[in-house]
Structures are given as structure tokens and as C-alpha cells.
Amino acid sequence: MDITIVGAGYVGLATGVAFAELGNNVRLIDIDREKIEKIRKGIAPIYEEGLQEMLQRNMDRIKAATTYNEIDGIVFICVGTPSLPDGSINLNYVKEAVENAARNMEEGIIVIKSTVFPGTTEKILLPLVKRHSNKISIAMNPEFLREGKALHDFMHPDRIVIGARDEKTAEMLKELYKPINAPIIVTNPTVAELIKYASNAFLATKISFANEIGNLAKLLGIDVYEVMKGVAMDHRISPHFLNAGIGFGGSCFPKDLKALRAGAASAGYNMRLIDAVLKINDEQPLRIIKILEKYMEPRGKTIAILGLAFKANTDDVRESRAIPIIKELLKMGANIKAYDPMAMENMKKIFPEIEYYSSVEEAIENADACLILTDWKEFEEINFDAMKRKIVIEGRRILKNKEGIIYEGVCW
């Protein structure tokens, strides 16, 4: 099929490249000229496992542009929906993309992949489409892609959710996804929108629950990972998203939970559980500072920070738990030496004043303490001999060799 993807970020680029891998002709549209030029040259502008190789393999089926000319067929809207100050989402990018697509199409389907609050597709976006044509249908097809594993998740999803307003649209999208072996749920756009929010909210709740139990376990002097191993053996619970640590970040969970809470409040409902999940997540990373203070006054000390991305295998620092930790350390007068395999350039835009190093060894040299904040595999085995004081505090439980150091975990 002929597919257009509006928005070549993490979701849009991974989606477009994966559809090309399945044999479709894909046109990627983005306002960022530098990003488009890279794609045209076969260079992935973001780091995502396997993306570079799959992009290069399918360059004959992929085009990239900054304009909406000559689009037809199926158009996926994959632009951002950033948070507004009250937690609700900014729909401007989505509305602009939908209008631009509808203005340049004669017929076809506009599919919303951007995460939007339930009711948005039918109440807000459909009227925008109808201004331009009655031959264009609109649907909601939420994405469930994990950064770092986006291509794998696209090709091997737990389910595909299609929120369509008519059977013809649903059948066309089912045909598009036919090469993928996964159950397909066909529903209306509003249900599809809430499935996305409910899924993310539940997974985030599991993380905050694990952290709550982890905080108690630390006070009791026991290992929360041993506790959760026993809990996760219950098939009703599963082990996924039960790793205690410094909390969740990224482009989805924090934003989506705030939007769900704000949307519910506007509908007259106070989501107290979501309030608690977000509060725990805001407090959790700062617990690592409290542990550090047991060993030293941070002012004037050199603290090595290993891991800046919100999770391993991505260069994304959006809502990274490293951000509040670095902010607090700077406020306390600490000197910071930072290292991350992929995310340093992105973090420099937020903290240009701290020192960045090209390796673990350089970052920890002469440091008074080391905080491990992302679970990159290269952090499993580290020689800390070059540190001034071998104090290591971990937020992700990735370190395997703890001999010869003073070691603590945030929840263990």
C-alpha cells in the first residue's frame, strides 16, 4: 500500500520503516529539514535498536519530505502531544497535521497514532477533516512501542487496536496489518484512545507500586528484588514492570498519566490512584540523594553520573530520572561528571554547564561518589579503582561486581 507518516520522531520513523520492511511504499513528512535530509541519505536521526539497518535496507521504498504534496492512501499522524502546564495535552501539532493532510488528499484514511484523550478523534479531529472532504475517513490506531525495542514491538505486538467509524476503514487497516501475526481488536476511536491511556497508566502503576514496596523493603533491610521474584510468579501479576528503582520517565508515561488525570478532572472525576502514582514517581529519584547524604555533604564534591537516558538502548532524555537528580545536586553545589553511551548530546541541551566524558573510566576518575541511573549493559562490570572514594549508589540494579566498594541501591 501507499502510506504517509506525518512526524518522523521515535514512533513515526519506527512505524514508517517497519511498514516499508513489510513491502509498503512509505513517505515520511517532518518539518525538521535536518532530520529529513538524514533520512534521505539513509541515516537514522535517532538511536533505536535495528533502525539504521532496516532504514538502509528499505531506502528504495522510503521517501522523505517536508511538504504534504502528492499524499494519498493511508496517512498516519505520529506527531507529539506535549503536556500543557495543567497536565492536559497540547493538540496544536495534531490538529495542524490533520488539517494539512486533509487539505492535500482527495480520498483515503487519516489514522491517528499520536496519543490523544478519549473523544479527541471524533469530536475535534473529524470535524477538521470534514471541512475539506467527505471522502476521507478517520481512525485511531494507538501505538504500544517501547523505545529501544520499537521495531520488535511493531513486528510482534501483543495486539493491534483499530478504532474505526465504519467497516470499510476497519477492513482496509486490517489488510495493512495482515502480515503481522497478532490479534486485532476493532472498536470505535474513543475506546481505542482509552485503551492506550489505560494500558500506560496500569504499567506506570506497577512501577510505582514496586517502588513503594521497595522503599519499605529497604527500611526492613530486605531485598525487594527477592520479594518481587516471589510476587511475579503469580500468573495474575507477571514480572513485567516490577523492577524497583528511581522511577519511570520517557515521552509516554509521565505525559499520559498527567493528561489522563487532567482529562478526568475536566469530566468531574478525581483520579486519586493516578495522583499517587505520579507523586511516588516524582519523589523516587530524590531518594538516591538522601542516601548520598549519609556518606557526604555534596557541596564541593565530585559526583559521577552514569546513565542519562530515561532507559537503556535509547538516546531519549525526556522525563529522565537523571534530570531531577542532576538539578538537585547542582543546587547543592556538587560538581558533576556525566557519561552515557548515547544520550549525552541530548542532555547537553538541558545541562550545558556540567562536564561530559567519553567513557565510564573518565567519568569516575577521582570522583567522590558514583550514581548509576540507567541500566546500560556496559555498567554491569565496572572497575572503580580510579575513584577518590569508592561509594556507589545505584538506581537501576544493573551492577554485578560490588566487591571492594561501598554500595547501596535506592530500594535494596
Predicted confidence (pLDDT) per residue in 131-146, tens digit: 999 999 999 999 999 9
Share the mean pLDDT of the chain: 97
Judged against a pLDDT cut of 90, whether residue 72 lies above it is answered with no
Q: What are the structural domains of the chain?
A: 2-187 (3.40.50.720), 221-412 (3.40.50.720)
Phi and psi, residue 184, nearest 5° = -115, 125
Average pLDDT over residues 218-232: 97
Active site residue 252: yes
69 pLDDT band (50/70/90 cuts)? confident
Residue 70 scores a pLDDT above 80: no
pTM of the model: 0.94
Among candidate residues 78, 252, 370, 411, the one labeled active-site is 252
pLDDT the model gives residue 264 = 97
Whole-number Cα distances in Å, 257 to 110, 181, 250, 281: 26, 30, 12, 11
Q: What are the pLDDT digits (tens) for 259-285?
A: 999 999 999 999 999 999 999 999 999
Lowest-confidence pick of 66-70, 336-340, 371-375, 394-398:
66-70
Q: 136 pairs with which residues across the strands?
A: 108
Residue 252's pLDDT band (cuts 50, 70, 90) = very high
User: Tell me, what's the pLDDT at 186?
Assistant: 98
Question: What is the arithmetic mean of pLDDT over 301-324?
Answer: 97
C-alpha cell belonging to residue 169: 476503514
